[in-house]
Amino acid sequence: MGLALALPGAVQALDCGAPTLSLATGREHSRWEEFNPRGEPLLTERGWLQHTALTGTGRCGAASWQAQWAHSQGSRHYDGQTQTGTPVQTSSRLRVDALTLSGWQPLGALDRENPSGTTSPWAWGARLGWRQTDRRIASTSTARGYPERFRAWQLALGARWRLHDAGPWRLSASGWAGGGPGGTARVSLPNADPLTLPLGHNRLLALGLQLDGDARGAQPGAWSWQLRLETQQETTAAGSARAVTRNGVPVAVATMPEIRQRQTVLSAALNRRF
């Protein structure tokens, strides 16, 4: 009750505006590669996923914030090899859920007459993200498939540049660089007990281009739209070895190899300001 009574006063003191909700949909091209310790490729997956994102944005003074849940789902073509080195081709089913909290601080002062709210086209930002990837490799005539679940955190710093801001159009570009500590991979291998493999540290680079349309979207209760093009490249180092058990008895050793991912998303969003 105390928090409910104090929150409106705190929002007013921070000069916070009403939030904007955004629903986006689009297509994502996903590429996944794994490499052995010598840098030789073990497998490659590529395919198109359906992408959906729900985003809430707001502004407090000159600073802005964004909270987003993104979901991607679909399949990729799998071209790799079995544990014995036999070439194999199959497919994998993907379900990816990501939560991201980010904030932007412009380099210029607050400008109430500017639709973007600031006098400078430049801003710096920080974001914290968590992602869960469910991947199920399909069985073939020579090898049994199995499911995996990857989880990892990431922290990144970014810069944004407003390329155009006149009339009803606003075009901006952004870039992020960062990484995170080792995550985990929950694996259910055939004829073995489920096990959790550690992932190595990860690093990422991301670029984005965003076109905002309809200046009326700055008014409370109004609608606006966005077009977004985002690409991200991520490398996860190999993890340490863990024992593979069957009915509690060690039978082998497994290690999650180096993983390189690349995602490119093209989406359209509809926004409503409250």
CATH number at 181 reads 2.40.128.100
Given the structure tokens 């996944």, which residue do they identify?
A: 32
As for how many domains the chain has, the answer is 1
The predicted pLDDT at position 180 comes to 96
Given the structure tokens 């499911």, which residue do they identify?
A: 147
Residue 13 forms part of a structural domain = no
| 177: CB partners within 8 A, 6+ apart | 156, 157, 158, 204, 205, 206
Residue 12 forms part of a structural domain = no
The predicted pLDDT at position 114 comes to 55
User: Residue 251's beta-bridge partner residues?
Assistant: none
Residue 102 forms part of a structural domain = yes
Helix, strand, coil content of the chain in percent (nearest 5): 5, 70, 25
Query: How buried is 219 (Cβ within 10 angstroms: 0-12 exposed, 13-18 middle, 19+ buried)?
Result: exposed
The predicted pLDDT at position 1 comes to 43
Residue 2 forms part of a structural domain = no
Residue 169 forms part of a structural domain = yes
Residue 10 forms part of a structural domain = no
Residue 219 forms part of a structural domain = yes
The predicted pLDDT at position 2 comes to 44
- Mean pLDDT by 10-residue block, N- to C-terminus, for the chain (274 residues)? 41 69 98 95 97 95 93 97 81 98 85 58 96 96 91 97 85 97 95 96 97 71 92 97 95 96 97 89
CA distances to 27, 211, 270, 271 from 214, in Å: 23, 10, 11, 10
Indicate yes or no: pTM above 0.85. Answer: yes
Residue 5 forms part of a structural domain = no
Residue 102: domain span: 21-273
Q: Please name which of 239, 231, 240 lies closest in space to residue 259, comparing C-alpha atoms.
A: 239
